[in-house]
Amino acid sequence: MADAARLRTVGDLRDLLAERLHGAVPDPLAEAREVLASLHDAPLSWSSVHAGDELIELLIDAALDAADRRIDGAPMAYATGRAAFRHLFLHVDERVLIPRPETEELVTLALSYIAPGMTVVDVGTGSGAIALSIARESGAARVIGTDISPGAIEVAEMNARAVLRTEYARTEFLEGDLLDPVGDEHVDVIVSNPPYIASGEHDALPAAVREWEPETALFGGPDGMDVIRRLVQQAALRLGAGGMLLMEIDARRSVEALACATTPQWHDRQVVPDAFGRNRFIVARRTAVAAGATART
């Protein structure tokens, strides 16, 4: 193995990382390239384009630490502390879920319902990926992210400081269960990627998920539906007339998830497929009954 103290260029570091990762991952060189690209929020070709660049000690330390974490089994996003989501590069660690491509689709769906001046709530915000994307890409006047985990709120606030600009919607992150932090305020759109895995499915999850990602963000009770049921009930009280609820769900439980919104408080209920045709999202509109009131059958 090359002597780390004698490293001079990005190419040298890439090759050293590949040597370290040999035997721990299927394609060590590809992983080495991904580590360096992720640390720079850059395309995978970054280490090739900059192969001759002189190294700085900070990059060496960060890259070697990331490689060691990959060897220990950490997902790449946790190993490097970085994750790409839509137009953003975010800090992530074991306090929050790693953002998934499906959730990017949830944001696209939500944007079609968000008009200028609206107030939007992202329930279970985690890293803040949904809230910060909506703040950047919509005309919303205010975006609120809530999470029961104080660690998640810390991560979301860290990301907000890094990516928010003055022209984006006013954004804040509040600690608490589901919509409790919103209090009695009425809002226009509620978006959520809630926990929806059944507790009995723990052992069937990939090791990188069950051993690293936070259980409170993964599991939704014995049937995976506990949080979704509570969120739909609370959303009926917090949304104004015509307000929208959008949730990411387990495609295997789309019928059960849609059934949660079959009370008189909801109409225009639908299951929306993702890019792969899986029943991945629930969309429902609050009826014209005033928020907080009980609709008559």
- From first to last of its 297 residues, the chain has per-residue pLDDT tens of 445 667 899 999 999 999 999 999 999 999 999 999 999 999 999 999 999 999 989 999 999 999 999 999 999 999 999 999 999 999 999 999 999 999 999 999 999 999 999 999 999 999 999 999 999 999 999 999 999 999 999 999 999 999 999 999 999 999 999 999 999 999 999 999 999 999 999 999 999 999 999 999 999 999 999 999 999 999 999 999 999 999 999 999 999 999 999 999 999 999 999 999 999 999 999 998 644 444 433
CATH class of 92-286: alpha beta
Backbone angles phi, psi at 55, to 5 degrees: -85, 155
3-class secondary-structure state, position 167: coil
The DSSP bridge pattern shows strands 187-192 and 119-123 to be parallel
DSSP 262: -
The pTM of the full predicted model, rounded to 2 decimals, is 0.92
Is 4-80 assigned to CATH 1.10.8?
Answer: yes
Domain-wise residue ranges, the chain:
4-80, 92-286
Phi/psi zone of residue 260: left (φ > 0), alpha (ψ -120 to 50 degrees), beta?
alpha
